Structure 1
């Protein structure tokens, strides 16, 4: 099982291929998993925001996780199962069912309809940890969470829940990194993929649940490995990633497209797998016709991702 010391690197996220009738295309999903495994990321995770965790039935959830577990165990690829759900009871039931799949960790969010106070957060994670047994927990706390925690909160929760080993967070400015740095030795801190080189430079980031891997699982893995040997060059790559985002992604965000829509668009721009841009009802997606123009820009700015 993972620990705070061994949870590192570039983790690629599953994205759900959706058919025109709003069903999940499991054939394309299986092909996507095979491509990800072939890219040899540090790990794969399911049911993050990009995996549309908020828009699945429990039967679909179980089928997705079983498929991922079978493929990853067969190839000895670490995987994490996102059991996140706005309802704490559903999250708990998901952990209870998924323990048998033996993931390397479970990702959880705090209950998300009624926000939780400090004691409630601890109670929630303690019960989830008890259900998980020896499988550790990672707290998914991105900027769109209703309750965005501060650095001291993560330390408090780790004291209350020893099997809580890592977080996904938004990162921040120099003051945030300074506040977070004391906890980096005992907690695996994953920052946004497009700021990963900065997080490594600051001595805080252990890795990313990576939106950059949406562009290219292989490219994101190459970039992570570059950070270990040539951080200056990796920071130059980051600057070009941000330039691409500013040019081709931010306008869609400003137009009201959701993060899952943006992540699927990134995958379509990268052209590495059979995901498509379609989201499930009622959410809008970026039309496929928009992909070609952004792909040209991406290839110009990030040629290494397409080699």
Structure 2
């Protein structure tokens, strides 16, 4: 396979589905439908389901199917690209989810590596080859976040993904200048999706196809305008990125660092700060949720630090 030959047109600002959870711990599907419609109206580059913030690890299979069918029907009707997350810690359940998702015709399907016991590189290759067969030609994106049992460096990601023909992209954490150098050396043929709040840096480095974006949790409209700005004024986009990171570091990260809240709790807090959809901050039991009363204080800070994400124009 020649260099860059498997790169896929999937790119840009991808907004995640966050599950609205009712007081009785059920999924509020009416609110979820309104959330999808809002993301479609925001004209994001695409919508994806069942990332970490979508609480893929805490759903029944019946709930999984209903979520994906709702997303697929709304996106097909509106002509909006979508990616389905078939992620699940158990590999047999993940492959079953993947097979069921094929019929919904997403642009791609996202998977994780089996996650109860860390897989070796050879085991990871076996799993991804099996996922490639099950996907029936639909491209796969490997989700390898920092909280995975094995958060892999570019060399290992290349070693496990290159033998698996359907893997066209990787969602991963980025790093410093040396990490970007390694990524260019080992992952040039894959579409790479960096953390949303680092997307301008990833674009400047010439390595990022896009982001499955936490910034879209805060403001899908603003995240899309910011992503579009990167094509015309990367310096302005980098300035916005610096201020986004400042807001995250000073106001959001402390909830995880000092109080132990999960990344999913942080993403739902961001959505409450942005106040763009009826998501709420509640996570499913037994995971702890950040009280929604924090959102108003943080909303004032977000508007002060990165007003561009909430205004009608960026420049």
Q: 1:278 aligns with which of 272, 275, 282?
A: 282
Q: Structure 1 stretches (4+) deviating beyond 6 angstroms?
A: none
TM-score w.r.t. length of structure 1: 0.97
Query: For residue 134 of structure 2, what is the aligned residue in structure 1?
Result: 131
Query: For residue 78 of structure 2, what is the aligned residue in structure 1?
Result: 75
Query: For residue 262 of structure 1, what is the aligned residue in structure 2?
Result: 266
Q: 2:297 aligns with which of 277, 293, 297?
A: 293
Whole-Å Cα distance in 2 between the matches of residues 250 and 273 of structure 1?
Answer: 22
Richer in helix (by share): 1
Shift of 1:37: 0.7
Whole-Å Cα distance in 2 between the matches of residues 183 and 235 of structure 1?
Answer: 25
What whole-Å deviation, never above 9, does each CA across 1:194-221 have from its counterpart, x for those lacking one? 1111111111111100000000111001
Name stretches of at least 5 consecutive residues in structure 2 with no aligned partner.
Answer: 1-5
Whole-Å Cα distance in 1 between the matches of residues 231 and 8 of structure 2?
Answer: 16
Asked if the contact 1:45/1:80 (under 8 Å) is kept, the reply is yes
What whole-Å deviation, never above 9, does each CA across 1:105-128 have from its counterpart, x for those lacking one? 110000000111111111101111
2:13 is the counterpart of 1:23: no
Shift of 1:53: 0.7
Asked if the contact 2:125/2:163 (under 8 Å) is kept, the reply is yes
In angstroms, what is the RMSD of aligned CA positions? 1.0
What whole-Å deviation, never above 9, does each CA across 1:170-226 have from its counterpart, x for those lacking one? 101111100001345410011000111111111111110000000011100111111
Asked if the contact 1:129/1:163 (under 8 Å) is kept, the reply is yes
Query: For residue 242 of structure 1, what is the aligned residue in structure 2?
Result: 245
2:207 is the counterpart of 1:204: yes
- Secondary structure of the residue aligned to 1:148 is coil
2:158 is the counterpart of 1:155: yes
Asked if the contact 2:122/2:160 (under 8 Å) is kept, the reply is no
Name stretches of at least 5 consecutive residues in structure 1 with no aligned partner.
Answer: none
Shift of 1:157: 2.6
Query: For residue 228 of structure 1, what is the aligned residue in structure 2?
Result: 231
What whole-Å deviation, never above 9, does each CA across 1:62-82 have from its counterpart, x for those lacking one? 000000000000011111110
What whole-Å deviation, never above 9, does each CA across 1:121-159 have from its counterpart, x for those lacking one? 111011111011110110000000001111112222333
Aligned length: 305
Query: For residue 36 of structure 1, what is the aligned residue in structure 2?
Result: 39
Query: For residue 61 of structure 2, what is the aligned residue in structure 1?
Result: 58
Query: For residue 144 of structure 2, what is the aligned residue in structure 1?
Result: 141
TM-score w.r.t. length of structure 2: 0.95
